[in-house]
Chains A and B, each alone.
Chain A
Amino acid sequence: MEWLTLTIDGREVSVPKGTTVLDACRMNNIPIPTLCHAPELTSAGACRLCVVQIEGMRNLPPSCVTQAAQGMKVETQNPKVRQARKIILELLVANHPLDCMTCQKMGDCSLAEYAYDYGVTGEVYQGEKRCLPIDDSNPFILRDPNKCILCGKCIKACTEIQGKSILDFSFRGFDTQVGPAFNLPYKESDCDFCGSCVSVCPVGALTEKQMVGKGRPWEVSKVQTTCPFCGVGCNFDLNVKDGKVIGVTSNPEAPVNGKALCVKGRFGMDMIYSDNRVTTPLIRKNGELVPADWDEALDLVASKLGEIKKTYGPNSIAALSSAHCTNEENYLMQKFMRAVIGTNNVDHCART
């Protein structure tokens, strides 16, 4: 691999060829604020918050889309750069509601974090502010276009991760919005409600509706787990407050899925506390399902299967397993059927 040496804030660093200036900074623990950048998405270079000064380059180039080059001299914190970032943040805050106290994103909002860092007051540019209707049309995603900073990450997540392209920019200039075609509510669009858009939103424009009012980021402990809904093995974080799961958020480190999840994994965890949930085995006695313990239930199944096999032969038995099961469970099921029962009659609900 070819390595390049460049100077960042007077410090000499080496990075592999093909690294962006932003990544070169982050690899070396040099903080650069970003709003539209996400490692799993293509870079738009749109928010312009990651601008730096590079010797010999015109203007202030955005580090997220500028390739590091041999001998490059980069300044990331000089007064000119910080002033430009501060003005960009002031511009964003000037067109953003300041209801942080009641915002679900408080404590996890990139805009608030940078505004604090750069001493932004929100008072420099007084003028027009957006006043758009909130999309509350569906049970999963709450969309507040007034909080949107138009970074475009949700659009890229929808297109590049989920492959649905439900979202895009509409209107122009100051009136630009993000949303489904014809500005339809999510519910009336072709949205899968995978929530990938929510997982990348840096502000409170897209939030998990189920979690609103249930807990603040600092009150929540995140428990990494594997999704129980199917055998893919997606990982995510259960958000737990006071011993209770209040929702699910993506875990960017998840080895199988990254931030991507499906609607069931991200928004289906309310089943944990559902009254309809079957929590013990049930045995039908005199036409009614009666709760039983596991030993009784398994004994009954074993004796019945043995009886059927003895009377009618192994091929009178078949097994159908579920997509809810893991690979390992499915493997065990077919092994049991072939080795113990002695039949090849196995199938799976997701086969067709």
Chain B
Amino acid sequence: MAENQRILVCAGTGCASSGALPIIDILKEEIKRQGLEETVSVVGTGCQGFCEKGPTLVIEPQHILYTRVTKEDVEEIVSQELIKGERVERLLLIDQTTQKPVSLMSDINFFSKQHRIVLHNCGVIDPQKITDYTERDGYKGIQKALKEMSPEEVMEEVKKSGLRGRGGAGFPTGLKWGFCRQTPSDKKYIICNADEGDPGAFMDRSVLEGDPHSVIEGMLIGAYAIGADEGYVYCRAEYPLAIKHLEIAIKQAEEAGYLGDNILGSSFNFRLNVFAGAGAFVCGEETALMASIEGKRGMPRVRPPFPAVSGLWGKPTNINNVETWSNIPHILRNGAEWYTQFGTEKSKGTKIFALTGKVNNTGLVEVPMGTTLREIIFDIGDGIQGGKKFKAVQIGGPSGGCLPEDMLDLAVDYDTLTQAGAMVGSGGLVIMDETTCMVDIARYFLNFSKKESCGKCTPCREGTTRMYEILDRITKGEGKEEDLDTLENLAYTIKETSLCGLGQFAPSPILATLKYFRHEYEAHIHDHKCPAHNCTALLSYTIDTEKCKMCSLCAKNCPANCISGDKKTNTPYVIDEDKCIKCGTCMDKCKFGAISRA
């Protein structure tokens, strides 16, 4: 039995929703009951990243990972792992290649192939304790800035680091700060954009939940460099735990003298407010976000003036997202030179991706810019679920695009992805296999964009609905010959004439799928077939009379009562296509493989 062990139980939103919170309490009780409270401590941490396998817990110092832990497993973990030092095998991760259990995080590709800078504290510290943050060099960045550097030197350091905005567009952060710093004003604001809205992306939530002080420290450094004395974190209201942890962290930082007047004995003052958004995706756009803070309807406005000139309440304002701010303390602490060793020539540092979809390991992964899609999906993600064939990866959420198999070796950075017709965006990576219909995927994302359009500019308001309607028609087999031309013309016009990024990038899923998977569209329209056998309206089920043993199992299980036949009268079993609801139950139930889908 190892001395002084720590058990890190993931208590982020993902694991909490799969039952992590009671585990922490029961674990503490069990440790006490078995007399280990002197040597073993339990820490509820932020997201450890391996959400699909949650609740997860890690035993330190050995870094043993347990997955899908339940309340019932606690006693065994304590008596077997903590007392005897033996693994509870059934709770270990199964390596998909070797089909053997692995216990050490260093042996698990999902962790060992990542490079964690922003996530360095996530899943390791108790986010509700400022001391956990300071023990791991927290607030050393702002100390260095205030004591050793002028605001100009801080700005130079960030410029030299090559850090680009992690919100998706990849604008150089130092340059952006410079615009705001140059604008003369008696008051300036900085804002942290935590209105993370892309379906599937949750890195900003995890950073705020798991390491809120890193965001506060990043903002402090930014405020010092820019000359701002007040900041806002605009966090979506759907992230209650992030807001809670942030508010606790702000209070602790105020008490410790990191926020307020004369910070660390200097003349630098900074106050930080939290503002909960009201649920609009478009409020992630900076001008809409500021309108929302001002109490107005969250709608973007034309730029110029840019926020750096006239932003919140008409004052110069600098906005960066959570991940960008969270990079800053590391750059200050370790220097720009250290930071530039990670990444590609034009995209420095790391990027967190939310890996989801038909991949074995789903969760949050942080990798250096320039890592290939293949490494992310097949090494870290451990390949496609159920041994199926990889088809495409949607990058950058509803504003991004799908890339096909022959682009798997693309080194991911801002520029390569944009060139390929996708974008880094928020960092969502949705993996699709051969059963995914690309027209349906485009339809799914357009449904999102049309619902989230604010309604201000014509192309986005009217156009996203029309694009959705055309896609919906195609997936129902009602596509017309001219639909692809109409769709493409519409998509380009919306891209080129919309007011904000939401509209400009809403057609991306269509343009990318048309570029790489045009044949799937054509199959739907010309042949009335869905090559992925996904679009229900285009499926037809038939019974092969040669293979059919007339067991009647299909007919008995059919919820629509559309299968008829009789063994006694030797009447073959047939499916009435008019009545069939294409549920596939008959095919699943048939033991002889007599039913096929086309």
Contact = CB atoms under 8 A, between A and B. Distances in A.
A60 B455 contact: no
B399 to A, nearest CB: 15
Contacts of B302: 43-45, 62, 65
Interface in B448-466: 450-459, 461-466
A176 interface: yes
A174 B497 contact: no
A127 B480 CA distance: 14
Given A173-B450, A173-B454, A150 B461 contact: yes
Given A84-B493, A87-B493, A125 B466 contact: yes
Nearest to B489: A87
B496 A84 contact: yes
Contacts of B486: 124-125
A94 interface: yes
Contacts of B297: 168-169
A105 interface: no
B459 A48 contact: yes
A203 B498 CA distance: 22
A282 B489 CA distance: 73
A59 interface: yes
Given A48-B498, A173-B450, A83 B493 contact: yes
B317 interface: no
Contact of A175 (B455, B493, B495): B455
A47 B455 contact: no
A149 B456 CA distance: 10
A65 B466 CA distance: 27
A92 interface: yes
Contacts of B241: none
Interface in A82-122: 83-84, 87-88, 91-92, 94-95
Most chain-A Cβ atoms within 10 A of its Cβ — which of B455, B459, B464, B490? Answer: B455
A172 B454 CA distance: 5
A51 interface: yes
Given A95-B462, A125-B466, A127-B465, A172 B455 contact: yes
Interface string B292-306: 000001010110100
B206 to A, nearest CB: 28
B522 to A, nearest CB: 21
A324 B392 CA distance: 75
Contacts of A172: 280, 451-455
B499 interface: yes
Interface string B149-175: 000000000000000000000000000
A84 B495 CA distance: 10
Nearest to B453: A173
A45 B458 CA distance: 10
Contact of B455 (A49, A127, A173): A173
B455 A91 contact: no
Contacts of A47: 457-458
A41 interface: no
Contacts of B496: 51, 59-60, 84
A271 B465 CA distance: 48
A43 B304 CA distance: 12
A128 interface: yes
B504 interface: yes
Contact of A91 (B453, B463, B495): B463
Contacts of B504: 59
Contacts of A95: 462
Contacts of B299: 169
B405 interface: no
Nearest to A91: B462
B469 interface: yes
B461 A87 contact: no
A168 B298 CA distance: 12
Contacts of A48: 457-459, 497-499
Nearest to A124: B486
B465 A173 contact: yes
Interface string B472-493: 0000000000000010011001
B499 A83 contact: no
A49 B450 CA distance: 20
Contacts of B461: 150, 173-174, 176
Contacts of B451: 172-173
A346 to B, nearest CB: 47
Contacts of B304: 67
Contacts of B301: 44-45
B452 A174 contact: no
Tier of interface size on chain A = 35 or more
Contacts of B462: 91-92, 94-95, 125, 174
A4 interface: no
Nearest to A53: B496
Nearest to B281: A172
B458 A46 contact: yes
A47 B302 CA distance: 12
Given A46-B457, A88-B458, A174 B465 contact: yes
Contact of A174 (B450, B457, B495): B450
Interface string B360-394: 00000000000000000000000000000000000
A311 to B, nearest CB: 67
Nearest to B463: A91
Given A84-B493, A124-B486, A44 B456 contact: yes
Residue from the set B457, B486, B497 with the largest chain A CB neighbour count within 10 Å: B497
B469 A128 contact: yes
A171 interface: yes
A161 B455 CA distance: 23
Contact of B493 (A88, A92, A174, A176): A88
Contact of A60 (B450, B453, B454, B497): B497
Nearest to B465: A174
Nearest to A59: B496
Contacts of A43: 302
B414 to A, nearest CB: 16
Contacts of A149: 458
A91 B453 CA distance: 15
Given A65-B302, A88-B459, A169-B299, A59 B469 contact: no
Nearest to A171: B455
Nearest to A35: B458
Nearest to B469: A127
Nearest to A67: B304
Interface string A258-278: 000000000000000000000
Interface string A13-54: 000000000000000000000000000000111111101000
A45 to B, nearest CB: 4
A95 B459 CA distance: 12
Contacts of A92: 458, 462
A88 B299 CA distance: 20
A215 to B, nearest CB: 31
B279 to A, nearest CB: 10
Nearest to B456: A46
A46 B453 contact: no
B497 A94 contact: no
Given A60-B497, A150-B461, A169 B455 contact: yes
A178 B164 CA distance: 39
Given A62-B302, A169-B299, A94 B466 contact: yes
Contacts of A173: 450-455, 461, 464-465
A91 B450 contact: no
Interface string A168-200: 110111111000000000000000000000000
12 contacts: A44-B456, A46-B457, A62-B302, A84-B496, A87-B493, A92-B458, A92-B462, A94-B466, A125-B490, A150-B455, A171-B455, A173-B452
Given A48-B497, A59-B504, A94-B466, 12 more contacts: A48-B457, A65-B302, A87-B489, A88-B493, A94-B462, A127-B465, A150-B456, A172-B451, A172-B452, A172-B454, A173-B465, A174-B453
Interface of A: 43-49, 51, 59-60, 62, 65, 67, 83-84, 87-88, 91-92, 94-95, 124-125, 127-128, 149-150, 152, 168-169, 171-176
